[in-house]
């Protein structure tokens, strides 16, 4: 098959080598962006009289026809045309004849592919941001219902202090808010047009880069043609933002997996998000949460892959850069899928408030209350800590909890303890009274909900 670049060659590559070098199997995902970029470019060629206006119009018509066919799934690509760019050029020429060959005037695949990927990511980042909001809304709705649901808060995965379940969920709300902002901020760097950088050095044709940028909805252009065709940092930044978001999802997934186990039993996931076992009839496995935890690994892998691919590359374009696409596409799909599933999982889960309540009554997570109580009576906190530590040890030896001790027993440890301690030791009280700003106290959590709502309304 004759190559678009075949003039200088005296023999064609063997088929398997051609297959190794081709990207059409995956970069066809850029078909609409490529057509859009070509339409802007060829309109500019006509406007600037670089090619006759009627040729430009003819090419635009041809490209629109290809767009229609692409939407109908009627385009047939071939590996021998290597990538989406050359495939479309070939299909265009088949559609409108040799005038199609004028499309590539003053342009290179190097600025073309970079333009496609900027257009693609700009669109997908907005979609991802919407899905982040949807998950935040789901977390918000569950939090709203569970302000006074008290459950164990952990450090080192050991019971630490009781907290509001809403407070725990809202912690993820804020992580996702920062993720959202990171994606939003990255848009200004994605929103730049490389088109017109040509192969690397710009072009002798009197092109108008600002016109094509405007046509494509970019808010600016790359200032340096060599940077424009070499830059993949917008992809690295995207993969980095995605990795962090996926890491957040992975942590919450891990918690869902723990909480839905018999050992914790704090939530039950809806059947839709679980599967059974082929052998053990009783099983309900939290597959979707596990998968999301697992998929975070592959997104982080794509980030590492991209950084490693780039790190030794001299300017400007190198074929290595063709490796930038699969990880990016996969990350987009993985993220959208994970966020959608997670939102559904959060919306439909059952919160077992009664189990949570029982469990906070069967631990020592109110020990800090007692120490703080003693400190508020003027006992140095370090001393109070020691007294309570001894009381806890005594309880463990006896097989009971602090609330099971009588006033006399408590007073034997410290005479300053009075009857009011029993109210203070209740886990609910412990949560309710933690009203320092951003704390888990019910009124603080309500304040947080207001702030969270304002964020949701703003975006």
Residues carrying an active site annotation:
156, 277
Does residue 113 interact with ligand ARG by CB under 6 A?
yes
Helix 367-376, helix 381-398: angle, nearest 10: 140
The total number of residues written for the chain in this structure: 459
Residues 23-52 touching ligand ARG, rule: CB under 6 A, are 23, 27
| Among residues 256, 317, 373, 401, the one that binds ligand ARG under rule CB under 6 A | 317
Give the residues across from 285 on adjacent strands: 275
Minimum distance of ligand ARG from residue 174's CB (angstroms)? 38
| Among residues 51, 321, 343, 384, the one that binds ligand ARG under rule CB under 6 A | 321
Question: Which among 205-213, 318-326, 337-345, 415-423 is the span making contact with ligand ARG, rule CB under 6 A?
Answer: 318-326
**Residue count at the site for ligand ARG (CB under 6 A)?**
10
For 434, phi then psi, to 5°, come to -85, 75
Does residue 215 interact with ligand ARG by CB under 6 A?
no
Question: Which among 6-14, 106-114, 290-298, 299-307 is the span making contact with ligand ARG, rule CB under 6 A?
Answer: 106-114
Nearer to ligand ARG, 115 or 215 (CB): 115
Nearer to ligand ARG, 185 or 320 (CB): 320
**Which whole-number Å values give the CA distances from 204 to 110, 277, 329, in the listed order?**
16, 66, 34
Is the CB of residue 429 less than 8 Å from the CB of residue 162? no
Minimum distance of ligand ARG from residue 113's CB (angstroms)? 4
| Among residues 109, 167, 168, 302, the one that binds ligand ARG under rule CB under 6 A | 109
Tokens of 292: 């999301």
Does residue 198 interact with ligand ARG by CB under 6 A?
no
Burial category of 195 from C-beta neighbours within 10 Å (exposed 0-12, middle 13-18, buried 19 and up):
buried
DSSP classification of residue 79 = G
Q: Distance from CA of residue 50 to its chain's centroid?
A: 43
Tokens of 28: 């066809």
> What does the alpha-carbon distance between residue 82 and residue 327 come to, in Å, rounded to a whole number?
19
Minimum distance of ligand ARG from residue 322's CB (angstroms)? 4
Minimum distance of ligand ARG from residue 435's CB (angstroms)? 56
> What does the alpha-carbon distance between residue 59 and residue 92 come to, in Å, rounded to a whole number?
8
Minimum distance of ligand ARG from residue 99's CB (angstroms)? 23
Owner of token pair 């052998």: 279
Tokens of 409: 């027993």
Interface positions with ligand ARG (CB under 6 A): 23, 27, 83, 109-110, 113, 317, 319, 321-322
């Amino acid at each position: 098959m004759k190559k678009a670049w075949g003039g200088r060659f005296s023999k064609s590559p063997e088929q398997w080598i051609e297959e190794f070098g081709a990207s059409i199997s995956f970069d066809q995902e850029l078909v609409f962006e490529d057509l859009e970029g070509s339409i802007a470019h060829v309109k500019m060629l006509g406007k600037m009289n670089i090619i006759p206006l009627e040729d430009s119009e003819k090419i635009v018509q041809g490209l629109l026809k290809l767009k229609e066919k692409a939407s109908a799934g009627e385009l047939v690509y071939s590996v021998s045309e290597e990538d989406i760019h050359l495939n479309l050029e070939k299909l265009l020429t088949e559609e409108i004849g040799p005038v199609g060959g004028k499309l590539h005037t003053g342009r290179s695949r190097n600025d073309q592919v970079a333009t496609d990927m900027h257009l693609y990511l700009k669109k997908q980042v907005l979609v991802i941001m919407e899905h982040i909001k949807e998950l935040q809304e789901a977390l918000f709705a569950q939090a709203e219902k569970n302000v006074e649901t008290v459950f164990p808060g952990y450090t080192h995965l050991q019971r630490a202090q009781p907290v509001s379940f809403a407070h725990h969920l809202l912690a993820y709300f804020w992580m996702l808010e920062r993720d959202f902002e990171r994606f939003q901020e990255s848009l200004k760097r994605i929103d730049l047009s490389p088109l017109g950088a040509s192969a690397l050095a710009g072009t002798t044709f009197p092109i108008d880069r600002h016109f094509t940028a405007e046509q494509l909805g970019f808010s600016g252009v790359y200032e340096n043609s060599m940077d424009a065709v070499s830059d993949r940092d917008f992809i690295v930044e995207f993969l980095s933002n995605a990795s962090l978001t996926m890491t957040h999802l992975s942590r919450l997934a891990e918690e869902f997996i723990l909480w839905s186990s018999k050992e914790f039993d704090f939530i039950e996931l809806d059947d839709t998000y679980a599967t059974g076992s082929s052998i053990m009839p009783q099983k309900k496995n939290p597959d979707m949460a596990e998968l999301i935890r697992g998929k975070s690994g592959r997104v982080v892998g794509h980030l590492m892959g991209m950084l490693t691919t780039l790190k030794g590359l001299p300017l400007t374009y190198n074929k290595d850069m063709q490796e930038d696409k699969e990880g990016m596409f996969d990350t987009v799909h993985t993220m959208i899928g994970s966020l959608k599933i997670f939102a559904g999982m959060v919306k439909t889960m059952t919160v077992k408030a009664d189990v949570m309540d029982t469990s906070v009554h069967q631990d020592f997570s109110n020990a800090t209350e007692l120490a703080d109580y003693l400190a508020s009576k003027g006992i140095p906190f370090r001393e109070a800590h020691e007294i309570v530590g001894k009381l806890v040890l005594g309880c463990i030896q006896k097989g009971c909890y602090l609330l099971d001790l009588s006033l006399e027993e408590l007073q034997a440890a410290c005479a300053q303890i009075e009857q009011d301690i029993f109210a203070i030791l209740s886990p609910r009280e412990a949560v309710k009274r933690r009203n320092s700003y951003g704390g888990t106290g019910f009124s603080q959590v309500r304040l947080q909900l207001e702030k969270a709502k304002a964020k949701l309304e703003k975006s």
